[in-house]
Each structure stands twice: as structure tokens, then as C-alpha cells.
């Protein structure tokens, strides 16, 4: 039976370290790192995510402010708010909760966030820095996956990492992180997606499989080799209301060496990385004053 990679416990430890670093930063500067979250509309899942992020900020000693906008808000109104937050010296990080309503172009909004306050690491400037191996911020979910591997003592140098999914939020930045030189990296990376041929033949080569497809229980035991390490980024709700990942946990955990659960795996780590990025943003902005 696979070792369970407990993201909740690991995230709790990391958040404790961040709280200590935040307290030290406050003692040195008198500044409290401040995250401004923007929530558009009344999507229940988005509201839950934002509340979780706010609570995590409070527990780590960071300040969090929520800006709620009606689902019918125009793109220009949202961009005006983002501009105000960009110019507010008291705000260090800006998080625009996705998805946004249809009338708003997500790319235009994410591009409008100041690169120095882009704690989600979505801005092209920050993605470019990441691709060159000199990141300003770490993309939250991929960095959380990487931290899970590090904290679990899983060797990545020379390992074949297969990433399922090529999204801008997880798949692509995950591959960028794992192919870099350095600790918990130095991997050989293959990115698979909906057009990949002979998918199972590739996933069975993985020493580490990172599933971020958004398809419930897609990865089965027949698709992995014995001893694989599985990081399940997916979170899907079934018809009966249960939360499941992109991996069929019951069958895959019987052959894997280690695996993350859903929930309680990657999710808590994403929030921990957001806190770290907000503290990093505060440090960067304070150093420029």
C-alpha cells in the first residue's frame, strides 16, 4: 500500500514557518504583508476558496482584504479596481479569483495586475522569469506539488516526471519547475494532454506522475508502473457530491509507492504557497522604498 503524502500536515508545518518569517518581517519593518482578494459573482466554490485563503492569512499573521463585485460588473470596472490596488502602497499582493464571468476577458485582467503584486504568478513577466530559472514568485499549485515531493523526501534528480495537463495554471508551470536545475528538480519531463497518442504507454514510464487534467478518476492502476509517486492535483465533484481527484485512488494506491489524497493533498499546499508569495511581495516592495 502506498505511503500517504499528507498535504494538510505538510502545509500546516509550512504555514508555521511562514508565520515566524512574517512576524520577523513585521519586527524589522513595521509592515504587515497585505493580500487583496477580488471575488466576482457568487460562485459557491470560489467563495469557499477565498474564505480559506483569508483564514490562512489571518493564522499566519498576514492581513487580508476581500473586494466583492457583482456578477454583472463590466470589465472596465474590474480593471479600475485592479488599478486602484496596484497603486495602493498598503497592498502587497493581488489575487483575482478565477473563473470570471463571460463578459470579462481573464487574460486582460490578469495582465493588468502589477508584476510585483502578482502573487499567483500569472503575469507574462513573472512566467518569463520562471522559464529562465529566476522566478520572482513561485506558481502556487505547482510550487505546492514540488514542496510535497521535497518534504516527503522523494528524489527528483534524473527522474522521469510525467505531467498530465497543459494548463497555464498547473501543467505548463509544473513542467517548468521540474526541469530547472536545483533541488527537487533536475527531472526529465514529459507533458501529456488531450491530443497525446498512446497516453498509457507514456504514463507507465513515469517515476513521478502529476495529474492535472480535471477529469475525475481518469488515471487507473493499469496506467502506472509499480512504485510510482503520484501527485493528484485534480478536484472534481461526482454526481453524489463526493470530492475525487483525477486519479482512481483505490486502485492506484495499491501499486504506487506514494500518493496524495483528495481532498487533503495539493489543495492546502496551494494556499501555503500563496502566503509565501505574499510575504515575498511585501519584502520586494519594502526593499524598493
- Judge if 155 and 256 occupy the same domain: yes
Query: Which pLDDT score is estimated for 141?
Result: 98
- Judge if 147 and 260 occupy the same domain: yes
- Judge if 149 and 252 occupy the same domain: yes
Query: 266: burial class by Cβ within 10 Å (0-12, 13-18, 19+)?
Result: buried
Q: Is residue 219 part of a domain?
A: yes
Instruction: With CA atoms as reference, report the closest residue to 244 among 270, 220, 272, 209.
Output: 220
- High-pLDDT (> 90) share of the chain, %: 94
In the predicted model, what is the mean pLDDT of residues 172-176?
A: 98
- Number of domains comprising the chain: 2
Is 53 an active-site residue?
yes
- Judge if 154 and 257 occupy the same domain: yes
Query: Which pLDDT score is estimated for 238?
Result: 87
- Of the candidates 21, 53, 118, 232, the residue annotated as catalytic is 53
Answer yes or no: pTM beyond 0.85: yes
Residue 62, pLDDT above cutoff 90? yes
- Judge if 109 and 148 occupy the same domain: no
Q: Is residue 176 part of a domain?
A: yes
Query: Which pLDDT score is estimated for 213?
Result: 95
Query: Which pLDDT score is estimated for 112?
Result: 98
Query: Which pLDDT score is estimated for 10?
Result: 98
Query: Which pLDDT score is estimated for 239?
Result: 87
How many angstroms from the chain centroid is the CA of residue 139?
6
Q: Is residue 259 part of a domain?
A: yes
Residue 97, pLDDT above cutoff 90? yes
User: Which pLDDT band, with edges at 50, 70 and 90, does 46 fall under?
Assistant: confident
Is 97 an active-site residue?
yes
- Judge if 145 and 254 occupy the same domain: yes
Neighbours of 242 (CB within 10 A): 10
Q: Give the model confidence (pLDDT) of 206-222 as tens digits.
A: 999 999 999 999 999 99
- Judge if 151 and 110 occupy the same domain: no
Minimum mean pLDDT range among 45-54, 83-92, 133-142, 250-259: 45-54
Query: Which pLDDT score is estimated for 222?
Result: 98
Strand residues in the chain grouped as ranges (E): 3-4, 34-40, 63-69, 93-96, 160-164, 188-192, 208-211, 229-232, 236-237, 243-244, 258-259
- Judge if 75 and 149 occupy the same domain: no
Residue 289, pLDDT above cutoff 90? no
- Judge if 147 and 222 occupy the same domain: yes
Domain boundary among 61, 80, 115: 115
Q: Is residue 278 part of a domain?
A: no
Minimum mean pLDDT range among 62-71, 93-102, 163-172, 232-241: 232-241
- Of the candidates 21, 97, 146, 217, the residue annotated as catalytic is 97
Domain boundary among 82, 115, 148: 115
User: Which pLDDT band, with edges at 50, 70 and 90, does 44 fall under?
Assistant: confident
Phi/psi for 199 (5° steps) reads -55, -45
Average pLDDT value for the chain: 96
- The CATH number given to whatever domain includes residue 259 is 3.40.50.720
- Judge if 149 and 247 occupy the same domain: yes
- The CATH number given to whatever domain includes residue 77 is 3.40.50.10860
In the predicted model, what is the mean pLDDT of residues 28-44?
A: 95
Q: Is residue 161 part of a domain?
A: yes
- Which are the contacts of 195, defined by CB distance < 8 A and separation ≥ 6? none
d(CA 9, CA 41) in angstroms, rounded, equals 32
Domain that holds residue 104: 30-115
**Length of the chain in residues, anyone?**
289
Q: Is residue 131 part of a domain?
A: no
Q: Is residue 4 part of a domain?
A: no
- Judge if 96 and 179 occupy the same domain: no
Q: Is the peptide bond before 263 cis (omega within 30 degrees of 0)?
A: yes
Q: Is residue 185 part of a domain?
A: yes
Is 120 an active-site residue?
yes
In the predicted model, what is the mean pLDDT of residues 40-63?
A: 92
- Of the candidates 117, 118, 120, 217, the residue annotated as catalytic is 120
- Judge if 256 and 212 occupy the same domain: yes
Amino acid at each position: 500500500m502506498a505511503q500517504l503524502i499528507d498535504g494538510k500536515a505538510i502545509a500546516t508545518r509550512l504555514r508555521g514557518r511562514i508565520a515566524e518569517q512574517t512576524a520577523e518581517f513585521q519586527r524589522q519593518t513595521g509592515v504587515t504583508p497585505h493580500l487583496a482578494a477580488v471575488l466576482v459573482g457568487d460562485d459557491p466554490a470560489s467563495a469557499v476558496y477565498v474564505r480559506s485563503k483569508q483564514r490562512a492569512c489571518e493564522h499566519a499573521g498576514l492581513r487580508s482584504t476581500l473586494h466583492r463585485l457583482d456578477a454583472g460588473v463590466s470589465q472596465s470596472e474590474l480593471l479600475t479596481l485592479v488599478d486602484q490596488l496596484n497603486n495602493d502602497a498598503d497592498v502587497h499582493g493581488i489575487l483575482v479569483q478565477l473563473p470570471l464571468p463571460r463578459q470579462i476577458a481573464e487574460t486582460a485582467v490578469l495582465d493588468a495586475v502589477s508584476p510585483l503584486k502578482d502573487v499567483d504568478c500569472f503575469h507574462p513577466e513573472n512566467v518569463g522569469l520562471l522559464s529562465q530559472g529566476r522566478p520572482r514568485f513561485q506558481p502556487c499549485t505547482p510550487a505546492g506539488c514540488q514542496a510535497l515531493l521535497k518534504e516527503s523526501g522523494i528524489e527528483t534528480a534524473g527522474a522521469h516526471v510525467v505531467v498530465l495537463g497543459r494548463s497555464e495554471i498547473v501543467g505548463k508551470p509544473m513542467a517548468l519547475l521540474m526541469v530547472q536545475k536545483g533541488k527537487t528538480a533536475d527531472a526529465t519531463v514529459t507533458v501529456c494532454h488531450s491530443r497525446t497518442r498512446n497516453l498509457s504507454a507514456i504514463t507507465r514510464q513515469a517515476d513521478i506522475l502529476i495529474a492535472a487534467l480535471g477529469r475525475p478518476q481518469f488515471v487507473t492502476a493499469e496506467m502506472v508502473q509499480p512504485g510510482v509517486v503520484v501527485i493528484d492535483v485534480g478536484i472534481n465533484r461526482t454526481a453524489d457530491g463526493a470530492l475525487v481527484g483525477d486519479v482512481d485512488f483505490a486502485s492506484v494506491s495499491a501499486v504506487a509507492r506514494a500518493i496524495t489524497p483528495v481532498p487533503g493533498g495539493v489543495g492546502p499546499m496551494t494556499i501555503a504557497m500563496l502566503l509565501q508569495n505574499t510575504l515575498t511581495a511585501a519584502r520586494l516592495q519594502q526593499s524598493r522604498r
